[in-house]
Amino acid sequence: MTTAPEQTATEAPRLGRKRDLSRDPEILEAALDVLAETGFERMTIDEVATRARAGKATLYRRWPSKSELVIDAVACMKRGVYDLSDLPDTGTLRGDLVAMIKEPSIADAQRKMQVMAGIVSMLSRSPELADVAEEALVAPRREANRVLIERAIARGEVTDAIDVDLISTVGSAMVAQRMLVERKPVTRAFLLSIIDGIVLPALGLRAAD
C-alpha cells in the first residue's frame, strides 16, 4: 500500500486565498453614507454590505467590528484634502479665504459634519476614533486657514499679535454649530458672513480690505 509522500521542509506551505482589498474604497464610502444617515448607534454592518453590494462575510473578515469599520471609513476622508502647498494666493487674506469657497468644498464640509454628527456619541468612548476624526475632519481646514493667516502676517497685512490657533478654528466651529445644532445647510452666503463678520474683524481687517 502506497502512502502519500510526506511534505518536506523545503516545500512551501499552502496559503489561503488572498484577501481582495480592491473593493475597500467602495465599502468605506458606503459605510460613510450609512453613518451620515443613521448615526453610529443605528448603523449596521448588514446595511453597509447591502449599500456596497458586498457579502456580509467579506466585511466581517476585513472589519471584525463596527467600530473598526467606522474608524477606517472616517480615516479615509483625509484623502483628497487641501494641498497646503497649493492654496489660493490672491494677494489678500479675504481674497484667499473667499477663493477657498467652492461648491465641492461646501458639499465636502457638509458631509464631514454629517459624519461628525453620526459619530459624536462614540467620541468620548473611543479615543482612537476621536483622534482619527480630529485628523480627518477638523485638522485639514484648520491647517489651511493657518497657512493663509500666516501668509497674511508675513506680508504685513495682519499683525503677528493675533492668536492664529484660535482664529484658524473659528470657521469650522461656526459650520459645526450651524449644521449640528441649528440643523441648517451651509451656503456660500453663510461662509462669506463668517469671513466678513467674524474672521476679518478679529484680525483687525474690514471686508473691503
- pLDDT tens digit sequence for 111-162: 888 999 999 989 889 999 999 999 988 899 999 999 999 999 999 999 999 9
Q: Rounded mean pLDDT of the chain? A: 87
- Domains along the sequence of the chain with CATH: 24-75 (1.10.10.60), 81-202 (1.10.357.10)
Model confidence pLDDT, tens digit, residues 12-40:
444 444 455 568 999 999 999 999 999 99
> Are the beta carbons of 184 and 178 closer than 8 angstroms?
yes
Q: Averaged over 184-192, what is the pLDDT? A: 92
> Are the beta carbons of 185 and 110 closer than 8 angstroms?
yes
Model confidence pLDDT, tens digit, residues 31-72:
999 999 999 999 999 999 999 999 999 999 999 999 999 999
**How far from 49 is each of 17, 28, 38, 44, 100, CA to CA, in Å?**
21, 10, 15, 9, 35
pLDDT higher than threshold 70 for residue 1: no
The rounded distance, in Å, linking the Cα atoms of 138 and 146 is 13
The rounded distance, in Å, linking the Cα atoms of 138 and 15 is 42
Q: Averaged over 88-94, what is the pLDDT? A: 95
The verdict on pTM exceeding 0.85 is no
